[in-house]
Amino acid sequence: MVTLRKVELDEAGLLLDFSKKTFYDFFAHLNEPANIEAYALVAFTPQKMQEELSNPNSEFYFAMLNGQVAGYLKLNFADAQTEFRDEKALEVERIYVSGEHHGKHIGRQLLKFAVDTAINRQLDYVWLGVWEHNYKAIGFYQHHGFEVFSSHEFLLGDDRQIDLLMRRML
Ligand X SMILES: CC(C)(COP(=O)(O)OP(=O)(O)OC[C@H]1O[C@@H](n2cnc3c(N)ncnc32)[C@H](O)[C@@H]1OP(=O)(O)O)[C@@H](O)C(=O)NCCC(=O)NCCS
Please identify which residue in 5, 48, 88, 105 interacts with ligand X, judged by CB under 6 A.
105
Q: Is 114 in the site for ligand X (CB under 6 A)?
A: no
CA gyration radius for the chain?
A: 15
According to DSSP, the β-strands at 89-97 and 125-131 are parallel
Phi, psi of 50 (to 5 degrees): -60, -45
Residue 53 binding ligand X, by CB under 6 A: no
Tell whether residue 95 is a contact of ligand X (CB under 6 A).
Answer: yes
| Residue 68 φ then ψ, to 5° | -115, 150
- 81 with 55: CB under 8 angstroms? no
No. of helices (H) and no. of strands (E), the chain: 5, 7
Residue 139 as a binder of ligand X (CB under 6 A): the answer is: yes
Query: What is the rounded distance in angstroms from the CA atom of residue 38 to the CA atom of residue 22?
Result: 16
Member of 137, 164, 165, 166 binding ligand X (CB under 6 A): 137
Q: Is 133 in the site for ligand X (CB under 6 A)?
A: no
d(CA 125, CA 158): 32
Which of 67, 103, 153, 160 touches ligand X by CB under 6 A? 103
Residue closest to ligand X (Cβ): 107
Query: Does position 88 bind ligand X by CB under 6 A?
Result: no
Contact positions with ligand X (CB under 6 A) in 19-48 = 26
- Residue 44 CA, distance from chain mean position: 14
In the bound state with ligand X, the residue whose beta carbon lies nearer, of 136 and 152, is 136
- Given 50, 134, 151, 161, the residue binding ligand X (CB under 6 A): 134
Whether 96 sits among the annotated catalytic residues: the reply is no
Binding site for ligand X (CB under 6 A): 26, 95-97, 102-108, 130, 134, 136-137, 139-140, 143
